[in-house]
């Protein structure tokens, strides 16, 4: 067990003001209420606002600002969206209504459903042009609330967050590189603690919804950063710690060596490329060619085929292939699962870099100011002219010529961080560290991903959500 990241000295919950705010019983509820108000505004605008996405507050906020701010928050702080997620409000309501009963079925207690939801989500995003439809954007939010409430009402833990939600799944994997993590101040206090309220809950406070036990936490996976554990602990022993960069990914014991968890990271790295591929001209050439070759003229089926290959067949096939080669080159006798689990965490920085470069580096930086005319338009539609007439040319926060170098730096940084994690994990192997030969298949795969990202990112890309065109 790596105690260095479990009992780190910095505890943000002990800092003046911020600590009190984070520990405040209603702190999370206030954050959730603010996001609930934002969700209600998006619903209203989605159904009643302008049909053109680039002029609609709901579409611009969800498909430009939410995604851009999300990746930046994950990089510099942690899973702040899940912390304030309004979709989890039903959990509290369901518990108050005492509807919760059984645990999530055992065969489904893995990330396979979440991987499936991620792939379905990215397919629907392209097929139904979700980003272009304020109406569908609003319906997605309604579906989220309904499904979250239904699952939280039926089952005892938080199955929606832990096993189903594609947004949460993205946040869980990405937060493995975040600087904040839940830990405990003193392990000894936990040893003698009778109630274990951090996970079991108390009369006033819920315990951990995703059933994490703070003294044993070594990973941000499944932590929605709700801080219920800190509020429930009667000994004030839960800490929100700052950890060193890549601490979790270089900790050999941080994650269970499960197929689902490790494929999830590789799948997320591939979806970072395929999602951007859906926004560049070659996708249309490929769609036309496939339609003619297979004599299938339904776009939904063609896109399903494309994304099933890019997001499932390739990551699973290449992941297994790399694991098999790596094991053969290391002359090891171990299961492929163990080899995969040793190296798959190295894909997390590369995966995150792809999403950061695409959403944080391109779409957000090139369209962030689009919120100004959209807001002006919204107010004008409601008879308020105080902010003046919209200037629809607003969008980029910096010259567009800066975007390519910024994306390149982000992708190269992700690649370098992935190589560091890879090498670190190879050296950690016992009884004998893995040499360069065992790392080679993974290096080639990571390099191929980095090159694919840059090739796709450098093609002319649809802006999606802004009136400004690249
Ligand atoms: S309730 Fe507090 S002291 Fe008890 S096990 Fe949980 S973190 Fe440790
Ligand atoms: S460990 Fe559980 S209760 Fe604590 S912040 Fe994470 S999800 Fe919330």
**Average of pLDDT values for 16-34?**
90
Residue 446 lies in a domain: yes
Give the number of the atom of ligand 1 that is nearest the alpha carbon of residue 189. Answer: 3
What is the CA angle 138-140-144, rounded to 5? 120
Does 216 contact ligand 1 (Cβ within 6 A)?
no
CA of 174 to the centre of ligand 2 (A): 16
Does 159 contact ligand 1 (Cβ within 6 A)?
no
Residue 89 lies in a domain: no
Q: Which ligand does the CA of 158 lie closest to?
A: 2
Give the number of the atom of ligand 2 that is nearest the alpha carbon of residue 224. Answer: 7
CA-to-CA distance for 460 and 454, rounded, in angstroms? Answer: 12
pLDDT score at 3:
44
Do 244 and 236 contact (CB within 8 A), yes or no? no
Res. 4 pLDDT band, cuts 50 70 90 = very low
Mutate to test the pocket of ligand 2, among 157, 201, 223 (most ligand atoms within 8 A of CB): 223
What is the DSSP secondary-structure string of 222-239? T-----HHHHH-TT--EE
Res. 100 pLDDT band, cuts 50 70 90 = low
DSSP single-letter state for residue 423: H
Select from 228, 251, 250, 249 the least CA-distant residue to 240. Answer: 228
Select from 31, 20, 4, 79 the least CA-distant residue to 236. Answer: 20
Does 239 contact ligand 1 (Cβ within 6 A)?
no
Does 322 contact ligand 1 (Cβ within 6 A)?
no
pLDDT score at 249:
96
Residue 8 lies in a domain: no
Residue 368 lies in a domain: yes
Does 190 contact ligand 1 (Cβ within 6 A)?
yes
CA of 192 to the centre of ligand 1 (A): 9
Helix, strand, coil share of the chain (percent; to 5): 65, 5, 30
* Assigned token pair, 453: 């990202």
Q: Which ligand does the CA of 234 lie closest to?
A: 1
Residue 358 lies in a domain: yes
Select from 314, 316, 336 the least CA-distant residue to 325. Answer: 336
Select from 27, 22, 26 the least CA-distant residue to 11. Answer: 22
Picking from 148-157, 178-187, 326-335, 453-462, which range would have the lowest pLDDT averaged per residue?
A: 148-157
Res. 96 pLDDT band, cuts 50 70 90 = low
pLDDT over threshold 50, residue 469: no
Q: Ligand 2 atom 3: the closest Cα is on which residue?
A: 208
Q: Ligand 1 atom 4: the closest Cα is on which residue?
A: 196
Does 197 contact ligand 1 (Cβ within 6 A)?
yes
pLDDT over threshold 60, residue 237: yes
CA of 257 to the centre of ligand 2 (A): 22
Give how many domains the chain has, as a whole number: 1
Q: Ligand 2 atom 6: the closest Cα is on which residue?
A: 223
pLDDT score at 91:
65
CA of 426 to the centre of ligand 2 (A): 31
Give the number of the atom of ligand 2 that is nearest the alpha carbon of residue 225. Answer: 5
Select from 218, 237, 194, 221 the least CA-distant residue to 23. Answer: 237
How many beta carbons lie within 10 A of that of residue 353, not counting itself?
31
* Assigned token pair, 27: 């702190």
Q: What is the pTM of this model?
A: 0.91
Three-state DSSP at 50 gives coil
Contacts of 187 (CB under 8 A, 6+ apart): 3, 6, 7, 215
Does 193 contact ligand 1 (Cβ within 6 A)?
yes
DSSP single-letter state for residue 208: -
Query: Can you give the residue range of the structural domain that contains 405?
Result: 255-470
CA of 227 to the centre of ligand 2 (A): 5
**Average of pLDDT values for 162-188?**
95
**Average of pLDDT values for 88-99?**
67
Considering only residues 366 and 37, tell me which one the structure prediction assigns the higher pLDDT: 37
Give the number of the atom of ligand 1 that is nearest the alpha carbon of residue 197. Answer: 1
**Average of pLDDT values for 26-30?**
88
Q: Ligand 2 atom 8: the closest Cα is on which residue?
A: 226
Q: Which ligand does the CA of 184 lie closest to?
A: 1
Res. 156 pLDDT band, cuts 50 70 90 = confident
Sign of the Cα torsion 272, 276, 277, 283 reads positive
pLDDT 10s digits, 411-444? 999 999 999 999 999 999 888 889 999 999 999 9
Q: What angle in degrees, to the nearest 10, is found between the helix axes of 166-174 and 67-76?
A: 30
Picking from 114-123, 204-213, 281-290, which range would have the lowest pLDDT averaged per residue?
A: 204-213
Do 22 and 12 contact (CB within 8 A), yes or no? yes
CA of 57 to the centre of ligand 2 (A): 32
Residue 367 lies in a domain: yes
pLDDT over threshold 70, residue 452: yes
pLDDT score at 35:
94
Mean pLDDT of the chain: 90
CA-to-CA distance for 53 and 370, rounded, in angstroms? Answer: 11
CA-to-CA distance for 309 and 315, rounded, in angstroms? Answer: 9
Pocket of ligand 2 (CB under 6 A): 182, 208, 210, 212, 214, 223-229
* Assigned token pair, 271: 């979806």
Q: Is 59 exposed, middle or buried (0-12, 13-18, 19+ CB in 10 A)?
A: buried
CA-to-CA distance for 279 and 136, rounded, in angstroms? Answer: 19
CA-to-CA distance for 273 and 2, rounded, in angstroms? Answer: 33
Q: Which ligand does the CA of 227 lie closest to?
A: 2
What counts of helices (H) and strands (E) characterise the chain? 23, 2
Res. 362 pLDDT band, cuts 50 70 90 = confident
């Amino acid at each position: 067990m790596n105690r260095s990241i479990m009992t780190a000295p910095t505890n943000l919950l002990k800092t003046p003001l911020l600590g009190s705010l984070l520990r405040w019983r209603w702190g999370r509820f206030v954050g959730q209420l603010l996001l609930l108000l934002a969700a209600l505004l998006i619903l209203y605008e989605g159904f009643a606002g302008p049909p053109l996405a680039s002029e609609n507050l709901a579409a611009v906020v969800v498909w430009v600002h939410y995604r851009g701010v999300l990746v930046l928050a994950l990089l510099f702080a942690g899973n702040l969206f899940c912390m304030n997620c309004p979709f989890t409000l039903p959990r509290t309501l369901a518990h108050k209504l005492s509807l919760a009963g059984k645990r999530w079925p055992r065969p489904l207690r893995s990330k396979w459903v979440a991987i499936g939801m991620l792939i379905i989500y990215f397919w629907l995003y392209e097929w139904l042009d979700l980003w272009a439809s304020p109406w569908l954007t609003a319906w997605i939010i309604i579906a989220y609330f309904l499904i979250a409430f239904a699952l939280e009402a039926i089952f005892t833990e938080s199955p929606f967050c832990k096993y189903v939600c594609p947004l949460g799944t993205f946040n869980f994997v990405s937060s493995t590189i975040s600087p904040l993590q839940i830990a405990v101040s003193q392990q000894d206090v936990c040893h003698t603690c009778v109630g274990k309220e951090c996970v079991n809950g108390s009369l006033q406070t819920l315990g951990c919804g995703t059933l994490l036990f703070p003294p044993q936490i070594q990973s941000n996976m499944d932590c929605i950063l709700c801080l219920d554990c800190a509020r429930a602990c009667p000994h004030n022993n839960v800490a929100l710690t700052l950890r060193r960069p890549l601490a979790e990914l270089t900790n050999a014991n941080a994650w269970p060596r499960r197929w689902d968890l490790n494929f999830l990271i590789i799948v997320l790295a591939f979806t970072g490329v395929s999602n951007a591929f859906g926004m560049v001209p070659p996708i249309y050439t490929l769609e036309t060619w496939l339609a003619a070759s297979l004599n299938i003229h339904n776009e939904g089926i063609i896109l399903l085929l494309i994304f099933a290959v890019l997001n499932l067949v390739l990551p699973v096939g290449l992941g297994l292939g790399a694991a098999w080669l790596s094991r053969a080159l290391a002359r090891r006798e171990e299961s492929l699962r163990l080899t995969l689990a040793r190296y798959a965490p190295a894909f997390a920085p590369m995966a995150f870099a792809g999403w950061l470069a695409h959403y944080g580096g391109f779409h957000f930086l090139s369209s962030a100011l689009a919120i100004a005319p959209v807001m002006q338009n919204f107010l004008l539609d409601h008879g308020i002219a105080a902010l003046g007439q919209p200037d629809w040319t607003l969008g980029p926060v910096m010259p567009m010529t800066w975007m390519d170098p910024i994306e390149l730096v982000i992708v190269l940084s992700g690649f370098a961080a992935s190589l560091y994690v890879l090498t670190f994990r190879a050296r950690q192997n016992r009884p004998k560290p893995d040499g360069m030969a065992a790392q080679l298949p993974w290096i080639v795969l990571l390099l191929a991903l980095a090159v694919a990202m840059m090739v796709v990112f450098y093609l002319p890309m649809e802006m999606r959500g802004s009136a400004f065109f690249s």
